[in-house]
Structure 1
């Protein structure tokens, strides 16, 4: 069984996180719109709330999980196929002209 480890954060990061959570809690709970036994939460943010968590996937990878294990954790019931087998061999190109993605990541200039 894999045990994911979370990256550590410095005290400055923890303070920022604490301030964010405090601001969220102060604005997200709205008892004025709730009934006697209710608390209403409002929220917003980036993402759609489903799918792969970047932080969770990173923690799994650092714990030794393979890309297949990570994808199956977040996308249950899917089949992982090569592009060639998924699209009959002509999906994005052929062996003489492959598709390259992310070639300029982590570069200071192009």
Structure 2
């Protein structure tokens, strides 16, 4: 999610790092009424080895569903606060076959929401 600048003499390696990082640093989705910048980040889902991974691979290859993990990031507009708030959902049992099947069928998955603060961004 964070853009990391790497200083070295290998320009191809640096270019590759910047390209990869740009995939995970989207432009702001919206700005709240208080001026806070809101981002929505999406990364591909990963599954445990075995049946869950097989189901996810089949779904990706058949383009059945856009399987991504979404997170919401809020960067406060205040120059005093330098933290970014990250809101995330974690399934109760993310590696179970039941969770994978529920996800593919569009059903709800039990889990919990988390809130994390990232400093110095």
- Please indicate, yes or no, whether the TM-score normalized by the shorter chain is above 0.5: no
Higher normalized strand content (fraction of residues): 2
TM-score range, shorter chain: under 0.3
For the pair shown, the structure with the greater C-alpha radius of gyration is: 1
What's the TM-score once normalised by structure 2's chain length? 0.24
What's the TM-score once normalised by structure 1's chain length? 0.25
Q: Which has the higher contact order (CA 8 A, sep 6+)?
A: 1
